[in-house]
Amino acid sequence: MLRPRVRTVRVRMLRTLRDQLENSIGDVLAEMDCSVEGSLVELQDAAEEERGLLATPVAHRLAGQLGRSPQAIAEEIVDRQRLPDEIDDVEIVNGFVNYHVDEPAVFRGIVEAVVETGDRFGAREDGRRIVADVSAPNVAKPLHVGHLRNGVLSTALANVFEHRGHEVITDDHIGDWGLQFGNLMYAFEEMGGSEKKLESEPIEHLLDLYQAFNRRESELEAAGKDEEVDALRDAGREWLVRLQDGEERAVELFERFHEVSLARFDETYNLLELSFDHRYGESFYVREGWCDRVIERALESGVAREGPNGEIVVELPSDDPEKDVDEFVLLTADGTTVYGTRDLATIEFREAEFDPDENLYVVANEQDEYFQQLFEVARRMGYDADFYHVSYGLVNLPDGTMSTRAGRIVTARETYDATFERALEIVDETRPELDSAEREAIAHDVALGTMKFEMLKVSRRKDITFDVEEATSFEGDTGPYLQYATVRAKKIVEKAGEEDVPPVPEEPTINDLDFQLAALLGRFPLVLAECEEEYDATPLATYALDLAGLFNTFYAHNPVLDAEANRDTRLALTAATHRVLTLSLDLLGINTLDRM
């Protein structure tokens, strides 16, 4: 691998050029006595190549305020402005000011900045401490494609935020408590649970029982047998109470379900190469007294009150005009906790354990309203960290929504298997000379890259329809497209056989494509900032596609190793591109390959 040659020359990235221009415009506006907000002097990338690299519409925005034409204002600004060295030429078109940059100088600045900073390109330091609630599968249920989206999004966000200087602590908030376990225990005991099946195919068996319970409930409901519905529900509830009271059989069942489920989660996480810092399940908060503590705190602070049947609730304003208040329940009349209790207990615990500046919840958008309520209760109780719900859309299948209750479910594992199988076919076809172990290793990385990129390329609020057929075409906007471009760049640099990335000459000879590629590299830090702002990885995912696409175009038209005069220039550009592509994929949580 090439190492960067250390240079003493101060490099200037596109970012600082933008800053300089913005400051320069700000200075002029101050002289002209305009009241400006920061946003008035923001520069945008020019819409067209011929109009320069950077442009500002500031004259348009001031036209109303100053009562003069945009054209006249633009002319005055340009007249009085002190321009950075890298600006070659300025023109005014329809009141827009277009700055043409000295392309060779900017090219050199960006490429050298990337080569010198390497893995730290776009990095920052000294951010906040963030605790993120992630993944959160339920015991006794499989990891499905929704968890895949969660895990992939969470990982990418954590990576980006860490790169930007924040400390991120991810906590896999396992669903291992609650009424569903009461129901499940009842089903196991009374509806055909089998220790043998629990041994051989645990999740499948538990899922069967869970679905059987829900099926019976629905059937009784449909038949109008209200008293039997109530009896069934009471039976499930009773098991939860037994568990909470520590009754032997209930605890024994709980431990068994827990054990087999976590073993399966680990297996799948390992396969998908996902990992999180902590895994405190909901049961932890009940059993370690955090629920009791938080209920007490809510009562003492007067945020919660006790109701007529011994339940403890917080009253929140209701959106529904029919109702005055919504009750946020902390303790049921049975004396059991609900999910809201456990989420508050989690907040209490995380404050004591991690003292975060911000709490993130990567949870699907079904729970949007709930999190608004949870955060409101938390604020009333005086937790001073910020709270943010990173809400994301559901993952559907081409034939409709998944539903655990109805039994339509596609597991993460099945999705991987199908994707891997298709990837292996292609590798077998294209790289027959490799041994089968290596072909499988490549197929694995490609399969993971495919699945993960499918989850990241769509902005998080939108639902995804996951179509295995389409995802595994491996062409166009896919993970393998990114991986392939990265391998190409890497191979060129390796084939050059030089120890260091060659320096870019003072006055590099570059064409349009060379420059555009460098300019795109310079945008990388801005893209990361956008991800931070949006709490989304999609800006980075689409950036990586743009970069890979532009590199492929560059690669097809601009010879690197065979270039005559500017071989070193292009080699440095290729090395810089490889670094930014690799860094992008690393942050997205997608593996890069040595060959494919």
- Which parts of 239-258 interact with RNA (CB under 7 A)? none
Q: CB 226 → RNA: shortest distance, Å?
A: 15
Q: CB 6 → RNA: shortest distance, Å?
A: 26
Size of the site for RNA (CB under 7 A): 99
307 lies in the binding site for RNA (CB under 7 A): yes
- Which parts of 69-88 interact with RNA (CB under 7 A)? 70
470 lies in the binding site for RNA (CB under 7 A): yes
- Which parts of 366-385 interact with RNA (CB under 7 A)? 366-370
Q: CB 11 → RNA: shortest distance, Å?
A: 25
480 lies in the binding site for RNA (CB under 7 A): yes
Rounded Cα–Cα distance for residues 527 and 536 (Å): 11
Rounded Cα–Cα distance for residues 134 and 173 (Å): 6
Q: CB 437 → RNA: shortest distance, Å?
A: 15
Contact with RNA (CB under 7 A) among 106, 111, 274, 329: 329
Contact with RNA (CB under 7 A) among 68, 305, 408, 495: 495
492 lies in the binding site for RNA (CB under 7 A): yes
Residues 23-62 vs RNA: string with x where CB under 7 A? Answer: ---------------------x-xxx--x---x-x--xx-
**Beta carbon nearer to RNA, 479 or 589:** 479
**Beta carbon nearer to RNA, 194 or 473:** 473
Contact with RNA (CB under 7 A) among 201, 311, 357, 358: 311
Closest CA to 537 of 469, 473, 457: 457
281 lies in the binding site for RNA (CB under 7 A): no
Rounded Cα–Cα distance for residues 91 and 54 (Å): 11
426 lies in the binding site for RNA (CB under 7 A): yes
Torsion of CA 381, 386, 387, 390, to 10 degrees: 180
Contact with RNA (CB under 7 A) among 461, 502, 526, 582: 461
Taking the CB of residue 572, how many other CB atoms lie within 10 A of it? 30
Q: Applying CB under 7 A, which part among 241-249, 286-294, 296-304, 532-540 lies near RNA?
A: 532-540
- Which parts of 383-412 interact with RNA (CB under 7 A)? 393-394, 401
**Beta carbon nearer to RNA, 197 or 215:** 215
Closest CA to 303 of 224, 223, 376, 358: 376
Contact with RNA (CB under 7 A) among 81, 98, 211, 419: 98
534 lies in the binding site for RNA (CB under 7 A): yes
* Cα dist from 453 to 272, 425, 472, whole Å: 13, 20, 11
> 415 near 468, Cβ under 8 Å?
yes
Closest CA to 40 of 15, 65, 17: 65
* Cα dist from 465 to 29, 81, 172, 264, 451, whole Å: 49, 51, 25, 25, 12
300 lies in the binding site for RNA (CB under 7 A): no
Contacts of 215 (CB under 8 A, 6+ apart): none
> 553 near 495, Cβ under 8 Å?
no
Contact with RNA (CB under 7 A) among 10, 33, 64, 399: 64
**Eight-state DSSP code of residue 38:** G
Q: Applying CB under 7 A, which part among 1-9, 184-192, 218-226, 490-498 lies near RNA?
A: 490-498
- Which parts of 182-221 interact with RNA (CB under 7 A)? none
Contact with RNA (CB under 7 A) among 7, 225, 305, 595: 595
474 lies in the binding site for RNA (CB under 7 A): yes
Surface-to-core class of residue 540, CB atoms within 10 Å of its CB (0-12 exposed, 13-18 middle, 19+ buried): buried
Q: CB 47 → RNA: shortest distance, Å?
A: 4
CA angle in degrees (0–180, nearest 5) for 106-107-112: 100
Q: CB 406 → RNA: shortest distance, Å?
A: 11
Would you state the structure tokens that stand for residue 368, as one six-digit string? 């949007």
**Beta carbon nearer to RNA, 326 or 358:** 326
Question: Which H or E run contains 569?
Answer: helix 567-588
Contact with RNA (CB under 7 A) among 421, 476, 511, 512: 476
Task: Spell out the alpha helix ranges (H) of 277-385.
Answer: 282-287, 290-300, 339-354, 368-380
Give residue 205's region: left, alpha or beta (phi > 0; psi -120 to 50): alpha
Q: CB 151 → RNA: shortest distance, Å?
A: 16
Contact with RNA (CB under 7 A) among 106, 362, 442, 573: 442
14 lies in the binding site for RNA (CB under 7 A): no
Q: CB 472 → RNA: shortest distance, Å?
A: 9
Closest CA to 74 of 51, 50, 57: 57
Rg for the chain (alpha carbons), in Å? 29
Would you state the structure tokens that stand for residue 213, as one six-digit string? 């319970």
332 lies in the binding site for RNA (CB under 7 A): yes
* Cα dist from 119 to 101, 316, 453, 462, 587, whole Å: 27, 48, 21, 31, 10
Contact with RNA (CB under 7 A) among 201, 477, 498, 586: 477
Q: CB 355 → RNA: shortest distance, Å?
A: 25
- Which parts of 121-180 interact with RNA (CB under 7 A)? 138, 175, 177-180
Contacts of 262 (CB under 8 A, 6+ apart): 139, 174, 279
Contact with RNA (CB under 7 A) among 81, 558, 577, 584: 558
- Which parts of 337-366 interact with RNA (CB under 7 A)? 338-340, 365-366
502 lies in the binding site for RNA (CB under 7 A): no
Surface-to-core class of residue 240, CB atoms within 10 Å of its CB (0-12 exposed, 13-18 middle, 19+ buried): buried
